Copies of this chain bind each other. A is one copy, B any other.
Amino acid sequence: MELQIRIKMNEHLFLRDPESSELGRKIVRQSILLIHEIGFEDFTFKKLAVAIHTTEAGIYRYFENKHRLLVYLVTWYWNLLEYQVLYQINNLTDPEMKIRKVIELLSKEIDENIGGSDINHKVLYQIVIAESNKVYQTKEVGENNKAQVYKPYKDLCTLIANLFTEYNPSYAFPRSLASTLVEMAHFQYFFMHHLPSLTDFGKDKDTRKLHEFLEVLVFSNIRNGK
């Protein structure tokens, strides 16, 4: 069975739905590769246009600017991750197991054959790690937030926070711990590779240790009640 998940993206994120045309899909697919290659700061629509043999103006028909495109990409990731989490914890009853599953999903790229698009999840995961904060660390947070742009991210955090509450209803900070977990899954990965002395797994770059750190971080907190 071929499973095709259609992720409905917030219409504020684009001018014309990139999933609705060949050019749109090319823009999304190639921008992931190009941003990963040269970094978001050096990435321009001009360079992307050259890479996919179209024109700058062509890309501007889909996305207002490069920042919106980044938001689109990162949001796409959050959407898919939430779907993944829901799907994978569906058959679990033990809240502890559910939380362990979430941590596992947060610490690795999403399977290539999920999502029904040919988006490169491995590279997208790298972009999320290296650039996702720029999506909300901007003067436009307020407006974007009003336009529901961060809804998928917030939904994911709410979902995780609810698992914490399910595990221990008396724990006082489920939401903050959820955002801490999500952010740290990515930050510690980034630090491990680029500023290893900020972590305890810099030497062997062992993802399992990072994984263990996150589990200890979460369970030490929610086990303690408050």
**Chain A interface residues (CB < 8 Å from chain B):** 38-39, 41-42, 130-131, 133-134, 136-139, 141-142, 145, 150, 153-154, 157-158, 172-180, 183-184, 187-188, 190-191, 194-195, 197-201, 210, 212-213, 216-217, 220-221, 223-224, 226
Contacts and interface: CB of A to CB of B under 8 A. Distances in A.
Copies in the complex: 2
Contacts of A134: 134, 137
A220 B131 CA distance: 30
Most buried by B among A131, A141, A179: A179
A139 B42 contact: yes
A210 to B, nearest CB: 8
Given A154-B198, A173-B213, A216-B172, A41 B138 contact: yes
A175 B197 contact: yes
16 contacts: A39-B138, A41-B139, A133-B133, A133-B137, A134-B134, A136-B194, A173-B200, A174-B200, A176-B198, A176-B199, A176-B213, A179-B198, A179-B199, A180-B187, A183-B187, A220-B220
A188 B194 contact: no
A13 to B, nearest CB: 17
Contacts of A136: 194-195
Given A131-B137, A176-B191, 19 more contacts: A39-B139, A41-B139, A153-B198, A154-B197, A157-B197, A157-B198, A158-B197, A173-B213, A173-B216, A175-B199, A178-B198, A179-B188, A179-B191, A179-B198, A179-B199, A180-B217, A183-B187, A220-B221, A221-B221
A213 B172 CA distance: 8
